[in-house]
């Protein structure tokens, strides 16, 4: 038998008095896919950062390619074939796609950068990922899903022997996930080892050979994937039984209530055409569609982040001209962006400062009333179960899921009446998802109006009272009741079923193109 490519013995990691990993020991064989599971804050990302050389373990030994290390650094890890696709992007926004793909491993000819060759090779890599993207585009102009595929292309440039994937599918559509998995399986067939983190347990079940389950920084189980079903995985992650993931939808009769938010004839040059929608208090409106269909653009235009070409927005029946997020907040609107680190959080601020960043004037009486600010932050920390050593901890040190909870708290503290949530459970574990879904339902029970944008069809189906399917910048159809199902959504999202000049799915003649 071949030797393990990686073996860890007694790995532990502490940040000051906080022990985040304790006695982690396992080995990985070449060509094996290991799934690493655990709740947010269980220590998954810390473990992977130790393997990739970003963090130094407090105790323990690392065996990589038969060599013994007390710690790795990123250069040594890369030299030994370790590559990582992180949960949060490590791309430089001002550089072009091909420049990011070859960053640190530039191709040179006669001492000069060979831009033409790097562009050509980047285009080949993107084509293998079925991504239609110009390598010359600046990263700042890409969608979140496109950035994720650029991260994948970056590691494919290397001859990686151990590839770490930290939540690589959270912003990808089912089609893009299928492409990524085909690439991963081809790499595995060539002897590449994969460490895979995902909160999507079906993906873990489909892709992984074995599972390492962590809870509170400790190793709970190391077993064959086939030994556990998805419920078993979830139970071992959280250490308790899980009830129904989605709260029951209440029988709603909101049609008689006036809309809290209306959008009429909204257009955005090159992106949106004649968008008409409304959401009433007490309901969740879902926006579904393929990545690039225009869902995020709808949200950003309503919030004043993009300047509409035509159309109008009405709040409680009154037309408003929203030109900035601050104006949107003044009208009772709040928006949770899919890009939490780029647009949602201030990574140099601590937890409390991020929670009160939008509502700070509430705590100012000549000076900032820090005691009141802290009480409010403690309220959200308890309500959303934010795992942080203390409220003064930099938000950059939190896990992705706990950062998402801080972002949610930041929005809730301005007490909005209408919330637009773009990928609200990105990078959140199954237990935290339950909390967020319950929170969303609680908001509707408090007479709030909520729009949920999600690439997870199960999430849209489980939460939304109505669903608008967006395709190529237009609303393809509105789905209600039993018509809110995966088949209907995908038929309209992919263009396999075309709408005619009507609004609801019940009006369609059932023909397909």
Beta bridge partners of 188: none
Task: Give the span between the Cα atoms of 433 and 484, in whole angstroms.
Answer: 20
pLDDT in the model for residue 288: 93
Counting DSSP H helices and E strands in the chain, the numbers are: 16, 24
- Count of positions (residues) in the chain: 513
Task: Give the span between the Cα atoms of 475 and 298, in whole angstroms.
Answer: 11
Q: Which domains does the chain have, with CATH numbers?
A: 6-238 (3.40.50.300), 243-332+417-508 (3.40.50.300), 343-415 (no CATH)
Whether residue 74 contacts residue 26, with contact meaning beta carbons closer than 8 Å, is answered with no
Q: How does pLDDT run along the chain (513 residues), one tens digit per residue?
A: 478 999 999 999 998 877 889 999 999 999 999 999 987 778 888 999 999 999 999 999 999 998 999 999 999 998 999 998 887 778 999 999 999 999 988 999 988 999 999 999 999 989 888 888 999 999 988 887 788 889 888 888 877 899 999 888 877 777 788 888 888 898 899 889 999 998 888 889 999 999 999 988 999 999 999 999 888 888 888 776 656 678 888 666 655 678 999 999 999 998 999 999 999 999 999 999 877 789 999 999 999 999 999 999 999 999 999 999 999 999 999 999 988 888 889 988 999 999 999 999 888 888 888 899 999 999 999 988 888 888 998 998 887 788 999 999 999 999 999 999 999 988 777 778 888 999 999 999 999 999 999 988 889 999 999 999 999 899 999 999 889 988 889 889 877 776 543 444 333 333 333
Whether residue 403 contacts residue 341, with contact meaning beta carbons closer than 8 Å, is answered with yes
Convert 481-511 to b/e letters by CB count within 10 Å (16 or more is b). eebbeeebbbbbbeeebebeeeeebeebeee
User: For residue 198, what are the contacts with CB-CB under 8 A and spacing of at least 6?
Assistant: 35, 165, 167, 168, 169, 204
pLDDT in the model for residue 491: 85
Q: Which residue has the tokens 């105790």?
A: 59
DSSP state of 1: -
State the alpha helices, DSSP H only, in 158-304. Answer: 174-189, 201-207, 230-238, 295-302
Q: Find the farthest-apart pair of alpha carbons in the chain and give their distance in angstroms, rounded.
A: 73
- Strand, coil or helix: what is 8? strand
Q: Phi then psi for 234, rounded to 5 degrees?
A: -60, -40
Task: Give the span between the Cα atoms of 434 and 438, in whole angstroms.
Answer: 6
DSSP state of 249: P
Torsion of the alpha carbons at 371, 372, 376 and 379, rounded to the nearest 10? 60
Of 478, 198, 168, 450, nearest to 336 by C-alpha is 450
pLDDT in the model for residue 256: 65
DSSP for 266-280, written as a single string: EEETTTEEEEEEEEE
| Residue 422, token pair as written in the block | 């773009």
Q: Name the strands in the sheet holding 193-197, side by side, starting at the edge strand that comes first in the sequence.
A: 67-69, 59-64, 6-15, 18-28, 218-224, 210-215, 33-37, 193-197, 162-166, 82-85
| Residue 193, token pair as written in the block | 């080892």
- Strand, coil or helix: what is 86? coil
The gap from C-alpha 205 to its chain's centroid, in whole angstroms, comes to 20
Task: Give the span between the Cα atoms of 423 and 45, in whole angstroms.
Answer: 20
Task: Give the span between the Cα atoms of 372 and 443, in whole angstroms.
Answer: 23
Beta bridge partners of 112: 109
Task: Give the span between the Cα atoms of 197 and 454, in whole angstroms.
Answer: 20
DSSP for 411-478, written as a single string: HHTT--SEEEEESTTTT--HHHHHHHHHHHHHHHHTT-EEEEE-S-HHHHHHH-SEEEEEETTEEEEE
Of 225, 105, 118, nearest to 158 by C-alpha is 105
- CA angle 63/9/70 to nearest 5° reads 55
Of 69, 53, 77, 43, nearest to 213 by C-alpha is 43
User: For residue 289, what are the contacts with CB-CB under 8 A and spacing of at least 6?
Assistant: 295, 469, 470, 471, 476, 493
pLDDT in the model for residue 512: 30
Task: Give the span between the Cα atoms of 36 and 211, in whole angstroms.
Answer: 6
- Strand, coil or helix: what is 218? strand
């Amino acid at each position: 038998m071949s030797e393990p490519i990686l073996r860890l013995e007694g790995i532990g990691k502490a940040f000051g008095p906080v022990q985040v990993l304790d006695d982690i020991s396992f080995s990985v064989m070449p060509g094996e896919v290991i799934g690493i599971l655990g709740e947010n804050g269980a220590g998954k990302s810390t473990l992977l950062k130790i393997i990739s050389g970003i963090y130094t373990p407090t105790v323990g030994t690392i065996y990589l390619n038969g060599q013994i290390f007390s710690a790795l650094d990123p250069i040594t890890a890369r030299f030994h074939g370790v590559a990582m696709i992180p949960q949060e992007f490590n791309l430089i926004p001002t550089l072009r796609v091909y420049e990011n793909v070859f960053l640190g491993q530039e191709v040179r000819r006669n001492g000069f950068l060979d831009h033409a060759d790097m562009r050509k090779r980047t285009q080949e890599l993107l084509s293998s990922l079925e991504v239609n993207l110009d390598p010359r585009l600046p990263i700042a102009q890409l969608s979140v899903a496109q950035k994720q595929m650029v991260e994948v292309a970056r590691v494919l440039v290397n001859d990686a022997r151990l590839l770490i994937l930290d939540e690589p599918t959270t912003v990808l559509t089912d089609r893009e996930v299928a492409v990524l998995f085909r690439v991963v399986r081809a790499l595995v067939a060539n002897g590449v080892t994969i460490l895979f983190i995902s909160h999507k347990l079906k993906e873990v079940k489909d892709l992984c050979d074995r599972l390492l389950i962590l809870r509170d920084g400790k190793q709970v189980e190391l077993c064959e994937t086939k030994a556990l079903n998805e419920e078993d995985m979830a139970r071992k992650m959280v250490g308790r039984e899980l009830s129904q993931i989605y709260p029951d939808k209440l029988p709603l009769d909101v049609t008689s209530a006036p809309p809290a938010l209306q959008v009429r004839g909204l257009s955005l040059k090159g992106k949106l055409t004649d968008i008409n929608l409304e959401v009433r208090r007490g309901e969740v409106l879902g926006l579904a569609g393929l990545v690039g269909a225009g869902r995020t653009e709808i949200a950003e235009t309503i919030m004043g982040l993009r300047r509409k070409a035509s159309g109008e927005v009405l709040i409680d029946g009154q037309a408003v001209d929203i030109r900035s997020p601050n104006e949107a907040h003044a009208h009772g609107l709040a928006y949770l962006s899919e890009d939490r680190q780029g647009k949602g959080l201030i990574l140099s601020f601590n937890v409390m400062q991020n929670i009160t960043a939008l509502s700070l004037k509430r705590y100012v009486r000549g000076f900032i009333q820090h005691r009141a600010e802290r009480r409010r932050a403690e309220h959200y920390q308890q309500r959303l179960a934010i795992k942080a050593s203390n409220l003064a901890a930099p938000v950059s040190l939190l896990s992705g899921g706990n950062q998402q909870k801080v972002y949610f708290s930041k929005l809730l503290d301005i007490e909005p009446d209408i919330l637009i949530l773009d990928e609200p459970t990105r990078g959140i574990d199954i237990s935290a998802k339950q909390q967020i879904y319950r929170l969303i339902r609680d908001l509707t029970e408090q007479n709030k109006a909520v729009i949920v944008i999600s690439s997870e069809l199960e999430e849209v189906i489980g939460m939304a009272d109505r669903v608008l399917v967006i395709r190529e910048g237009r609303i393809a159809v509105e789905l209600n009741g039993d018509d809110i199902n995966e088949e209907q959504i995908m038929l309209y999202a992919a263009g396999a079923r075309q709408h005619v000049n009507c609004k609801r799915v019940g009006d369609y003649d059932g023909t397909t193109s």
